[in-house]
Amino acid sequence: MASSMRSLFSDHNRYVESFRRFLNSSTEHQCMQEFMDKKLPGIIARIGDRKSEIKILSIGGGAELVAKTSNLKNIKFAWHKETSSEYQNRIIEKKEFQKWDFIHMIQMLYYVKDIPATLKFFHSLLATNAKMLIILVSGISGWDKLWKKYGSRLPQDDLCQYVTSSDLTQMLDKLGIKYECYDLLSTMDISDCFIDGNENGELLCDFLTETCNFNTTAPPDLKAEIMKDLQESEFSVKKEGKVLFNNSLSFIVVEA
């Protein structure tokens, strides 16, 4: 790895902008909304059977998606603005082990240092018949292929680790926790990545590789390999002149 390469997370402003470009170029939120509209109400209805109130803990997802979900108008929400580890430490310290009917973790397990311990802890907070929803990139996505093939050659960062639903389901199996996994297709238009000097493309390349200024700092051989692979069928599909990266998501519903 070239010494000039550094993690995208080392430049907060560039990371935020690259993430914004990713959201604009992908169907990530549409994919999540589809699940929230079609699957989630049924899951929560089973949880809420004969209950006057459902207690929901949101970890990493903010208030928007679940609060906007259809058919949930009678559910009250309480948002805790802290990291999962901060919440876990506070709960253990104060010994306030409140039980929850529904816990959801949206695209946040990449930023947890000990994922099995985190899963075990939050699973222990589930009430009878409760569920925990985990959303992260699918093991069949292009991310899985990209991270496995090139992760060791890209800048490593303590803030983020490479984990997909394939890794997570193995962890859940080892913990003896029951779950159901749903995969939904999501794509990310990375066509601009192949246009020299295109600002949007450069920011998307940064996001894909989690590398600050990837196009100008990556060793030529690494850049050439990655740019070639991104156009291969195991990573992307070509449709109507566009290169659409496989950004598929997994929605894992964990049983109490």
Task: Centre a 10 Å sphere on the Cβ of residue 151 and count the other Cβ atoms it contains.
Answer: 13
Q: Is 61 in contact with 93 (CB distance < 8 Å)?
A: no
Q: What distance in Å separates the CA atoms of residue 173 and residue 157, rounded to the nearest whole number?
A: 27
Q: What distance in Å separates the CA atoms of residue 137 and residue 183, rounded to the nearest whole number?
A: 9
Q: Is 181 in contact with 160 (CB distance < 8 Å)?
A: no
Q: Is residue 9 classed as helix, strand or coil in its secondary structure? A: helix
Q: Is 96 annotated as a binding residue?
A: no
Structural element, H or E, at residue 236? strand 236-239
Q: Is 121 in contact with 150 (CB distance < 8 Å)?
A: no
Residue 177: C-alpha distances to residues 121, 170, 253 (Å): 12, 10, 11
Rounded-to-5 percentages of helix, strand, coil across the chain: 45, 20, 35
Q: Is 28 annotated as a binding residue?
A: yes
Q: Which residues contact 238 (CB under 8 A, 6 or more apart)?
A: 231, 244
Q: Which residues contact 173 (CB under 8 A, 6 or more apart)?
A: none
Q: Are strands 249-255 and 236-239 parallel, antiparallel or unpaired?
A: unpaired
Q: Are strands 242-246 and 179-184 parallel, antiparallel or unpaired?
A: unpaired
Binding residues for substrate, by number, are 28, 247
Binding residues, by number, are 28, 247
